[in-house]
């Protein structure tokens, strides 16, 4: 099942638009769904967005990055108990 169909708040955010994550990054979608509801989602997103020296990656298009940050905002609203401090949010585990 897609993120758009799994998370009603994300569906509202997207409106009639398709999710670029759903369309182009099915492995990322599965991992986000796996971590949804848990504080580990922050470490996973950190690994997605931070490019380490020894890794050569192209990165994500802007639309995908916006979707990822929107999902994190939704996650923090739905699961406030999993919210971590800003200094820890994008620290690797």
Question: In the predicted model, what is the mean pLDDT of residues 51-75?
Answer: 87
pLDDT band at 82 (very low <50, low <70, confident <90, very high): confident
Mean pLDDT of the chain: 88
Query: What pTM, to 2 d.p., does this model score?
Result: 0.83
Question: Rounded to whole angstroms, how far apart are CA atoms 36 and 59?
Answer: 22
Alpha-carbon distance of 1 to 89, in angstroms, equals 27
- Residue 84 near residue 39, CB atoms below 8 Å: yes
The count of other CB atoms within 10 Å of the CB of residue 6 is 14
> What are the start-end ranges of the E strands in 12-75?
none
């Amino acid at each position: 099942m897609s993120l758009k169909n799994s998370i009603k708040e994300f569906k509202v955010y997207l409106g009639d638009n398709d999710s670029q994550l759903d369309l182009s990054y099915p492995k990322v979608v599965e991992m986000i769904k796996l971590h949804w509801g848990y504080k580990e989602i922050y470490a996973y997103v950190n690994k997605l967005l931070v490019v380490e020296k020894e890794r050569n990656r192209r990165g994500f298009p802007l639309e995908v990055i916006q979707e990822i940050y929107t999902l994190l905002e939704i996650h923090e609203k739905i699961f406030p108990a999993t919210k971590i401090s800003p200094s820890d949010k994008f620290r690797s585990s």
